[in-house]
Every structure is written in structure tokens, then in C-alpha cells.
Chains A and B, each alone.
Chain A
Amino acid sequence: ETGVTQTPRHLVMGMTNKKSLKCEQHLGHNAMYWYKQSAKKPLELMFVYSLEERVENNSVPSRFSPECPNSSHLFLHLHTLQPEDSALYLCASSQEWDTTNYGYTFGSGTRLTVV
């Protein structure tokens, strides 16, 4: 496989459930990101991992918990979500400290619906 793969593509969960979103990149990149895309809102950066360390947490509620076990995998653990958390969650990767190869690759996203 190539590129950035996100699973599942669609997820419906109740407010008391616990679920996880998975992102995997096969590009050898060393930075990974979670973005949230809600209807009629700009893409919002949630978390940034660089060399497996979290370097950014944009005031995201604690019901979202990221995990980056290695440079190829990124998870977003979800628990006790609210209906307003329903959105498209996009994962991206990039190669940092490399000015000749600067660009983001996005996955297809997970469409999350909280009921």
C-alpha cells in the first residue's frame, strides 16, 4: 500500500461508546497530524506529532486522546463524545526538516457520526 490509509471509513457511535480511529502512512514521513472537518467550518488542526512526540494540542477536549506508537501509525481514541463531534476526521503526514520534499499527504478520512 502507498500513501496514507485511514480506517474505518465510516463510524457511528453512541455517546457512551469508546472507539479508535487508525491512520497508517507508508511514505517514510516523520510527522503526522489529525484534522477535524465539520460542516461549514474550516479544517481544524487537532494534534501534531513530530518524531512520535506530540508537539501540538490545539485545545482539544480530553474526550479525544491521540496516540503515536511509531512514525507510521497514528490513533485517535474517542470516548464519551458529543453529537457536535460528528465530523470528518482527516489524518495527514509530512516529512519535516527536508526542504526539498515539503508537502502534506492526506488520508481519505473517517466520517464519524455520534448518536
Chain B
Amino acid sequence: AQKVTQAQTEISVVEKEDVTLDCVYETRDTTYYLFWYKQPPSGELVFLIRRNSFDEQNEISGRYSWNFQKSTSSFNFTITASQVVDSAVYFCALSGGDFQGAQKLVFGQGTRLTINP
């Protein structure tokens, strides 16, 4: 069975601090995809990134960066120089790599991030 664990339920930091959100996953699939989504107070889940299991290169997008390590089954997300607008609930998710049908995302419990001015 697939499982995603986000051990940090809530994180609160002061603006401009760096913050890392942890994600650990379990799967027996050899091909799989990992995702991060942001859920602002408005409710919709906003797609941030997708990584496949064969690509362990770290990725940077502006102030966001992701560290994928298969050896530890982790896919951590770091926000550099955090801003108040980064305040949201962040979800890590996992999906199998079988493209023969509709895909199902398994989500972690989410981490509520609060950036204080």
C-alpha cells in the first residue's frame, strides 16, 4: 500500500526565514510520481511540482526548492526567504506510474505553514 507521511502538522516562522517541509513516502512501485500542492485559505489545491522516481535531481524554482532522495524515501520542500503570502497548508502526494488508467493520488496529512510578519 502507498503512504505519505508529513510529520510536521504546523510550522510557524518569521518572515524571511528559510523553512523546510518534510515528506516521507512508502510504495512498492518501481515507477511512481511525487507531488507538492499548496492550499491557500481559498481552498483550491495549487500544483507546485511533480517528480518521477527516475529523476533524483534537485529542483529550484525561485524561492522554492525540492530535495528528492530515494535512499531515504523523502521528498522535502524548502522555501527560502519566506514571505507572508507563503502561508498555506502544503500537501505532499504520491501516485503510481501506471499510465493504463486513471491515477489516484495519496496525500499526506498536510503541514500548515504560517509566516509571521
Q: Which 9 A-B pairs have the closest CB atoms?
A: A50-B102, A106-B45, A43-B107, A108-B44, A109-B43, A31-B102, A108-B43, A48-B102, A42-B109
State the B residues within 8 Å of A (CB): 4, 33, 35, 37, 42-47, 50, 91, 99-110
Closest to B37 in A: A106
Pairwise interchain contact B33-A102, C-beta atoms closer than 8 A: yes
- Min Cβ gap A29→B in Å is 10
Given the complex, which residues of A lie within 8 Å of B109, measured CB to CB? 40-42
State the A residues within 8 Å of B (CB): 31, 33, 40-43, 45, 48-50, 55-56, 88, 90, 92, 94, 96-99, 102-109, 111
Pairwise interchain contact A94-B44, C-beta atoms closer than 8 A: no
Pairwise interchain contact B102-A104, C-beta atoms closer than 8 A: no
Pairwise interchain contact B105-A109, C-beta atoms closer than 8 A: no
Known: A33-B102, A42-B4, A43-B110. 10 other contacts (CB 8 A): A31-B103, A41-B109, A42-B108, A45-B106, A48-B104, A50-B102, A96-B99, A96-B101, A103-B47, A108-B42
Given the complex, which residues of A lie within 8 Å of B110, measured CB to CB? 42-43
- Min Cβ gap B89→A in Å is 10
- Min Cβ gap A87→B in Å is 12
Given the complex, which residues of A lie within 8 Å of B44, measured CB to CB? 90, 106-109
Given contact pairs A99-B99, A106-B45, A109-B44, A45 touches B104 in the complex (Cβ within 8 A):
yes
Subset of 22 A-B contacts with CB under 8 Å: A31-B103, A42-B107, A42-B108, A43-B107, A45-B104, A48-B104, A49-B102, A50-B102, A90-B44, A94-B102, A102-B33, A103-B35, A103-B50, A104-B45, A104-B103, A105-B47, A106-B37, A106-B45, A108-B42, A109-B43, A109-B44, A111-B43
Given contact pairs A107-B44, A108-B44, A56 touches B50 in the complex (Cβ within 8 A):
no
Complex CA–CA separation, A106 to B89 (angstroms): 15
Given contact pairs A50-B102, A102-B50, A88 touches B107 in the complex (Cβ within 8 A):
no
Complex CA–CA separation, A33 to B101 (angstroms): 13
Residue from A88, A97, A111 within 8 A of B99 (CB atoms): A97
Pairwise interchain contact A43-B91, C-beta atoms closer than 8 A: yes
